[in-house]
A and B are shown apart, each in its own frame.
Chain A
Amino acid sequence: MNSRSYPFVVYFLLLPILQVMVFDQFNLGVQLVPQITLLFLIFYPTDAEQTIFLVIAFLYGLYSDLLHSTMGIQAAACVTAAFLRPTIVTSVFGKNHGYVNIRLQQTPFIALSAYSLNMVLIHHLVYYLLGLASWPKTLWGIQQFIFGSLYTLLFLIAIMFVLRKNKQ
């Protein structure tokens, strides 16, 4: 394990706890909670072994599930977002970007936002689909998915903007 991995171990352990203790309080009612745990999946090194990343994403989701008592939903959503991440990175940053990590300071903010939007949409689609799993409530589920995604994206962009400004 190299020095680049140590911050991610901390993020792995602390982000879900931060989500439960702080960001769950920002709920707008039924299931609309900003899911900042996605920051781990967004900034995890893109040059890492994809198979290992899938397992880590699953464990990360499972850890979030344990804290939220939603056994399996976060794990499924995180592993799906992790699986589709290479495709998203290629589509947003181009084919040669796979070997350069996405860094908060160096990556253009608009590209970073677009990339985050895609990750949020994939994660929330699986999250709400599995959580709801009911045909009669499809319209309500779509509504929750759209507003939930926008709310999460708002928080993620705000956090990235603040952290980016502080480090400059």
Chain B
Amino acid sequence: MQQLVNAIIRFRNGLVYLLLISLSIFLLQQSSSYHRSLIANAGLYFGTQLNSIVYSLSSYVSLRKTNELLIEENQILLDQLLSEKKLPSDTLSYSTVRLQVIRNSFFNSYNYISLRGGKNIGVEKEMGLVTSKGIVGVVQFVENRYSQAISILNKDLQINAKLKNSNHFGSLIWSGDDPTKMNLIDVPKTAIVKIGDTIQTGGMSTIFPPGIPIGMISDFIDDPSLSFYDIEVSLFQDMTNLGSVFAIDHPTKEEVKSIQQSINEQ
């Protein structure tokens, strides 16, 4: 302890300098949005580099388990390919970009996913992320080789979703508690809701195409004082165990956005 104090006293000028320069940079990034984004980008770059190294080590260790998951995923995809009834009714051909999850959080109220893959493989902002089991998130920031997505386990995100058996829509939100469950709100009482029904994407935005499975109704609240159901949805995708994900490129995204913009301007 005495040696530590002696070292601090001996190098006090250097320590004071480091402290003051850190404070200066902190003040700079607080007051300037340009510097704030610069520091955020630098943080993203170094954070993803570090997480990439950690992921490389951990993925090598869990190769057998990853192989099993891949085989299961292939089987599901093959089932979907062979059975035309399971394909979405939408006739547009969506292209996908495969991304590797290098960091995934699910214990905060606002969770994000770091991904290996960026502009170099065609990833763009606001691409929806899916797996063979369901939706995962929406791409938020894109660098050249890395991206960051907002997870569906984020209280800020609302996804357009509908009941599979009807065309009744609602907003899918996360309460911040259970990473295996989300809430579908704003579904009108005219909808027929049963436990076990499937919830899928509604397709009302350019982020997710319609018909992608999300989860199953595990419970719902039928409050007589309200006009809408509060539906609890158990997610098909285990958000605590993400490996490879697919970013969906909507083929007519720009056209749809342009029309929406024209409508908004009017």
Contact = CB atoms under 8 A, between A and B. Distances in A.
B21 A133 contact: no
Interface string B22-52: 0111111111101100100000000000000
Contacts, number: 53
A51 B21 contact: no
Interface residues of A, number: 18
A80 B35 CA distance: 19
B53 interface: no
Given A71-B30, A71-B31, A133-B35, A76 B21 contact: yes
Contacts of B12: 51
A54 interface: yes
A72 B38 contact: no
Given A51-B12, A71-B32, A133-B38, A79 B26 contact: no
A58 B24 CA distance: 8
B27 A72 contact: yes
B20 interface: yes
A76 B28 contact: yes
B16 A72 contact: no
A75 B20 CA distance: 8
10 contacts: A54-B13, A62-B27, A71-B31, A72-B25, A73-B24, A76-B21, A80-B17, A83-B14, A130-B28, A133-B35
Given A58-B24, A75-B24, 10 more contacts: A54-B13, A55-B20, A72-B25, A72-B26, A72-B31, A75-B20, A76-B21, A76-B28, A79-B24, A80-B17
